[in-house]
Amino acid sequence: MKNTIKKASPMIGLGLLVSSAALMYATTSHAAIINWQDNVPSATKPFAGNAAQLARLVDNDIMVYSHPSQSLNLASKKGTLHYNNVRFSSAAIIVPAKPEQVKQLLSQYSGYAGLFPTLTKATLLEQSGNITQMKYRIHVPVPIPVLSFNEDVVMQHQVSGNSIQTLIVDSPIQYGTGKFEWFPVDSNHTLVTLTQWGDLDKPKGFLVSTILKAIPEIKQGIPQSVDTFVLETLKRKFSPDGKLPTQGPRQLPYKKLQQDEIQLVQQLNARSGNPVMFIHRPVNMPYSNRAESLQFVSTYATLKAPAARSTQVLGSPANFKNMFRQVSKVQVKPLSKQASEAEVMVKVGLGVIAIPFRINLRYYNEPQNKLYYQANGGDIEYMQGQMQFSPLSNQQTFLSMTSAGKIGDNAPFLLKIGKSLPYSDLLPTVGGAPVFIYKANQYLSNSKNS
């Protein structure tokens, strides 16, 4: 594993909804095979095609990053659609398997049912040469019927060389494309990547449309959630977690990056405008008299304000009320010169349904512009994280964050329904990080200009 990063926020509640939205591709119809050419960028493109360089960064984690904005011609049932501003998202992982084993698993589409959580049925619709059109049944059971999901999605897969390209044919996320790629690392390990994009501005269907309309900012975290959902599944298939290591108090997992790797991460962030993320394997963290398993996510991003201003704004939970419209109230109580407690009241509305919850956090100011925080009661029982603010030469800040959070058994019912979603102890953190950074940059820019 490889340098530290740091983060957590009340957006964990939004992350739960990101998780559900990210999994909800559905339809009940089917179309004939669509002719299309693969124009999805390779996951190695930001690395000048150097898969070894990407593999070095990935190491033992799942890495998630974005590509620079580009134009795209996309095949669809309605003909060719043109987009001027598309930003693909990629994720990468190294699995203990040969490339042939990876190809065999990913090209057996009927086996996706039982491999990916929520995907319960896979039906072959049509096949022509190396092109296959499949219908997948997706079932996401939730105790509230209006939020449950039980639909179909039609996708078209195309195998060529070391990749499988996929085109969305029918779905509430109507238009999208992506591909798997695999690259040998050594005789027994393979780098597996997923690169994908979906048009989140033209959804159809009541549930997905309602979620995206009610909380439009979650669009910032859906691509990363999709990436993580898929590659976390492959990780558990090829390399399931064994006995979890136990960390000491406030000893968070971190990413050890060399200086050249830090510069590369900063370049990826600057070119795409999106954060670079690393999903670590789970660890046991001490809570009171017990250990609780948590899966930490390390995030690197650029804040559009000097380090002193960024530290002041993000280091004070009182600002969350102005940053996030879902935060209704924040109460901060100083404990000492270096510590404070914050009670954050959040209400997430989905049409006629509102999900209120309370987050209690204890903050500790640490040397080297670091801020550590940990859940201290409230409805999100398990949360730990750390932020570090490093000045950049252009009056901006390089934010390094490490965070983890999950809902406990004592959460309110409406919040606890998130535990019925797959990887509910991971996807909220993944989806919440880009939303947090997006809203933080919005606030920093607006407050500077006001």
With 0-12 / 13-18 / 19 or more C-beta atoms within 10 angstroms meaning exposed / middle / buried, residue 256 is exposed
Q: Give the whole-angstrom CA distance, residue 447 versus residue 450.
A: 5
Q: Give the whole-angstrom CA distance, residue 152 versus residue 203.
A: 15
DSSP state of 445: H
- pLDDT digit string (tens) for the chain, length 450 residues: 443 333 334 333 333 333 333 433 333 344 589 998 899 999 999 999 999 999 999 999 999 999 999 999 999 989 999 999 999 999 999 999 999 999 999 999 999 999 999 899 999 999 999 999 999 998 877 766 666 667 789 999 999 999 999 999 998 788 999 999 999 999 999 999 999 999 999 988 777 787 788 788 889 999 999 999 999 999 999 999 889 999 988 899 988 899 999 999 999 999 999 999 999 999 999 887 788 999 999 999 999 999 999 998 998 888 999 998 889 999 999 999 889 999 999 887 766 567 788 899 999 998 888 999 999 888 888 999 999 999 998 899 999 999 999 888 888 776 777 777 889 899 999 999 999 999 999 999 887 655
**How do strand 370-378 and strand 382-391 relate by DSSP bridges?**
antiparallel
Would you call 92 helix, strand, or coil by DSSP? strand
Q: Give the whole-angstrom CA distance, residue 318 versus residue 299.
A: 22
Taking CA atoms, 186 is separated from 50, 95, 99, 135, in Å, by: 15, 11, 10, 35
Q: How far apart are the first and last CA of the chain?
A: 42
Closest CA to 88 of 311, 350, 272, 305: 272
**Radius of gyration of the chain from Cα atoms?**
21
Closest CA to 91 of 57, 48, 133, 136: 57
∠ CA 395-302-230, nearest 5°, is 175
User: pTM for this one?
Assistant: 0.90
